[in-house]
Amino acid sequence: MAFFSSSILSLVSPFFLFMFGIASAQLSSNFYSSSCPTALSIIQGAVSTAVSKEIRMGASLLRLHFHDCFGCDASVLLDDTTSFKGEKTAGPNANSLRGYEVIDTIKSQLESQCPGVVSCADILAVAARDSVVKLGGTTWTVQLGRRDATTASFNDAQSNLPSPFSDLSGLISAFSKKGFTAPEMVTLSGGHTIGQVKCSIIRTRIYNETNIDSNFAASIKKNCPSIGGDTNLSPLDQTAGVFDNTYFKDLVNKKGLMHSDQQLFNGGSTDSQVNTYSQNSAKFFSDFGSVMIKMGNLSPLTGSKGEIRTNCRKTN
């Protein structure tokens, strides 16, 4: 599950999912070193192939992990059953989340090599990291050993999702409730350096708001008319196929695409951090890796909890 309503974002948005507690209990970076030593290379190879085929997929896979990390338990991948209504059809996810087929491919390869060993939740976590790296971004050590949920919650997916129309105070408050500081919120927002957003979400900003570069707004309007074209996509920053610090440079230049993005640089308490990241990509990369590790440790299922699914779309 993620922070921003995903019906608004076409792929990434990266960043907005959190749980109430952080538990890295039985996670470790070498969890599969004996039970499935080729696991990480299999995931990396499949992600590389998928992103090479379609650059947009890198953002989609990052976003899948974000949306899963209400507990980082792969609940977002479960199809509806007679006993529960899952997360896929919830408003924030329906016709928005994508990349399920890539996860299916990875799982199939892993099951052939190491049956019943690697969880779908860990696949999501590693695929997110490998996607960022494939698009030129930073790397980080993914802690492993998550297990998969045996149920999913439509209602949970419907709630806990701040709006892309949120002001800075709302963003800070919402992230704080999930255990993140304001600086960490800014860092995670940098995931918007890749991906795209629907016209329906940015229309009010580009047509009505004043804290936006006029030439930039005019260029976006060409693909986002005042009426119609709701599903037309625009890149979240000007190098949306590359994971870099352009997102923050754009904010400094009043070229944030969503209202909530530009709130990070709008005369408020986070302006200085955005300035720093806009000038220092190494600092952003380092911080992003650290906060992604924290996010990936949000209340995972470990030990005997949950299961290791054979098929990521359904329980065993």
| Burial zone of 146 (CB within 10 Å; 0-12 exposed, 13-18 middle, 19+ buried) | buried
Q: Is 192 among the annotated ligand-binding positions?
A: yes
Q: Which amino acid is at 19?
A: M
From the list 236, 157, 254, 237, the residue with the least C-alpha distance to 198 is 236
**What's the confidence (pLDDT) of residue 221?**
98
Q: Tens digit of pLDDT for each residue in 5-21? A: 433 344 444 444 333 34
Residue 259, marked binder: no
Q: Is 209 annotated as a binding residue?
A: no
Query: Judging by beta carbons within 10 Å of its beta carbon (0-12, 13-18, 19+), is residue 46 exposed, middle or buried?
Result: buried
Give the mean pLDDT of the chain: 89
Of 58-67, 84-93, 190-199, 269-278, least confident by mean pLDDT is 84-93
pLDDT the model gives residue 97: 86
Residue 150 near residue 75 (C-beta atoms within 8 A): no
Helix ranges (DSSP H) in the chain:
39-53, 56-68, 100-113, 120-134, 154-158, 168-177, 182-189, 199-208, 214-221, 246-252, 259-262, 271-279, 281-296
Active site residue 259: no
Task: Quote the CA–CA distance of 35 and 313 in Å, as a whole number.
Answer: 23
> Per the annotation, does 71 bind a ligand?
yes
Q: Note the pLDDT of residue 94.
A: 73
The response to whether 271 counts as a known ligand-binding position is: no
Sequence-distant (6+) residues with CB within 8 A of 54 are: none
What gap in Å lies between CA 289 and CA 132, rounded to an integer?
10
Q: What percent of the chain has pLDDT over 90?
A: 72
Q: What is the mean pLDDT of residues 121-136?
A: 98
The pLDDT value given to residue 162 = 63
For residue 252, pLDDT over 70 is answered with yes
Instruction: State the pLDDT confidence band at 70, using cuts at 50, 70 and 90.
Output: low
Amino acid, res. 21: G
Judge whether 239 is annotated as a binding position.
Answer: yes
Q: Which of 63, 67, 88, 134 is catalytic?
A: 67
128: pLDDT confidence band, cut at 50, 70 and 90? very high
Q: What is the mean pLDDT of residues 61-76?
A: 87
* Cα–Cα dist 127/129, whole Å: 5
> Which residues have CB under 8 Å from 18's CB, separation 6+?
3, 69, 70, 175, 178, 179, 180, 295, 298
Q: Specify which residues 311 forms β-bridges with.
A: 314
Kindly give, in sequence order, each residue whose CB lies less than 8 Å from that of residue 49, ignoring residues fewer than 6 positions away.
none
Q: Is 225 annotated as a binding residue?
A: no
On the question of pLDDT at 85 being above 70, the answer is yes
pLDDT level of residue 299 (50, 70, 90 thresholds) = confident
| Annotated binding residue 237 | yes
Mean pLDDT along residues 160-186: 86
Give the closest residue to 99 by CA, choosing from 175, 46, 136, 146.
Answer: 46
pLDDT of residue 160: 67
pTM of the complete model: 0.89
Given a cut of 70, is residue 63 above it in pLDDT? yes
pLDDT of 3 higher than 80: no
* pLDDT at 262 (0 to 100): 98
Average pLDDT over residues 11-38: 66
Residue 314 phi/psi, 5-degree rounding, is -150, 155
Residues 150/311, Cβ–Cβ less than 8 Å? no
Residue 244 has pLDDT above 60, yes or no: yes
Given the candidates 3.40.630.40, 3.40.228.10, 1.10.420.10, 3.40.50.150, the CATH classification of the domain at 168-290 is 1.10.420.10
Q: What is the pLDDT of residue 4?
A: 47
- If we measure between CA atoms, which residue out of 65, 43, 57 comes closest to residue 124? 65
pLDDT in the model for residue 6: 36
